[in-house]
Amino acid sequence: MSTYDRLRPLLEPRSVAVVGVSRQGKQGAVFLQGLLDPGFKGPIYVVNPSADEVMGVKAYPSIAALPETPDLAVLTLPAEPAIGVVAECAARGVPGAALFTAGFNELATPEGDDRARRLLAAAGGKTRLIGPNGMGVYNPRRGIAMFSGMPAVAGNVALVSQSGSLTQALVRAVAARGFGFSKAVSMGNQLDLNAADYFEFLADDPETNVIGAYIEGVPDGKRFEQALRRAAAAKPVVLWKAGRVAAGARAARSHTGQLAGEYAVWQGLARQAGAILVREAEELVDTLSLAAAVGQRPSLGRRIAIVTGPGGPAVSASDACEEAGLELAQFSEPTLARLRLMVAAAGTSVRNPVDVGMVLQGAAEVYGRCLEVALADPNVDTAVVIGGERGNEDGFGQMLAKAAEASGKQVLHALDGGPASVHELLAAANVGTAPSAERCLRAYARLADR
């Protein structure tokens, strides 16, 4: 059986049991609410021997007493009871268990290591483990979330993370730019299933076009390298490796019990595998979002046109363009002649960057004409737009979307904040955004280097 087939019941569960939710719905309530609020598309069971129902869901005394075998059990119990429940899951044939429970190998103590060994023995290879010390699975198509209120719109971005809180933050940040997720997994200590398993699954997942990851360390470097190569050959993989220096490595060891490894090794690994290595959350969000916008383009050209109203940001964007290994496109004479007819003679520039000047009214129209001309130039591969039209954000977004569709070229927009409707409109048109032109260009360059 392939990794995709083996993990599908865990990451796309058809039925879920939550074990350890208290009668008052306090302990473990966040996981049950993460099924109820988004409307999980399948049966939900609660296991609590002391209750008939919890939060309106019928409760059963044990895994064995459930009317059917669930695809996934979510455990919110302390460490010792969790080991016993995992043994029950294995006996019942439950494909997977996600353990929020901590107190295992991340403690780096004999007691914690002993619990980890007994947990694996209880699973017996029959029930595969997500975690422990993780937040489990997010799959908006199935209606399963780690926290109440996570974005409900599905998309084609996937995330593998060793941090539950970062999983939630990264999902929200990418979704704020209009791009949804196919699934995300908070893998915790990777005691059983690890990053290599999830990469193998996502490489074959038809719902996923882009893979992001937050990694502190891996238990099997050779297997991880093989899985990373396979995934990166199939679709863009953006990897945030934490624990790069001594202090970070110590924090990773206490967080999830992972040995971080030398960062230079990770740099070489990513380069050889064809993955994109980033250093912080902003870079991961920028690159994931832009990868989702770029989609399945076979290649990304390096010749950039900049269309701007404010002059200072255009100068900084020009610096960022060259520093990132891109180049400012050289407009042809016919392009320059057309642009001269469109912008005022004073306080503007038709050479790249194209400076349309201060436009108080009708900015969308002025920008749109200039952008259309720039994109039509055969020397231009991609355009980045700086500026907008206050009070007409939707109209400006529609202009960008039309320009991208008409030209067939990639359009980027420096957009910091703004209405959700504009981000959704631009995402639907595959227009990439980031809070500044510099961040747009750096993310684009990372993808072009892939």
Q: What is the pLDDT of residues 370-397, one digit of tens each?
A: 999 999 999 999 999 999 999 999 999 9
pLDDT at 111: 95
CATH code of 78's domain: 3.40.50.720
Domain-embedded: residue 330: yes
Domain-embedded: residue 274: yes
Do 369 and 289 share a structural domain? no
Give dist(CA 333, CA 351) in Å, integer.
10
Give, as one character, the DSSP assignment of residue 349: B
Give dist(CA 12, CA 116) in Å, integer.
26
| 230-252 tens-digit pLDDT | 999 999 999 999 987 655 455 44
Instruction: Give the contacts of 329 (CB within 8 A, at least 6 positions apart).
Output: 303, 304, 305, 352, 374, 377, 379, 380, 381
Give dist(CA 301, CA 379) in Å, integer.
10
- Give the structural domain span for 155: 151-294
| 272-316 tens-digit pLDDT | 999 999 999 999 999 999 999 998 787 899 999 999 988 889 999
pLDDT at 378: 97
Domain-embedded: residue 142: no
If one counts the domains in the chain, the total is 3
CATH code of 191's domain: 3.40.50.261
Do 422 and 370 share a structural domain? yes
| Predicted model pTM | 0.93
Instruction: Inform me whether the pLDDT recorded for 61 exceeds 70.
Output: yes
The whole-chain average pLDDT of the chain stands at 93
Do 237 and 169 share a structural domain? yes
Instruction: Inform me whether the pLDDT recorded for 256 exceeds 60.
Output: no
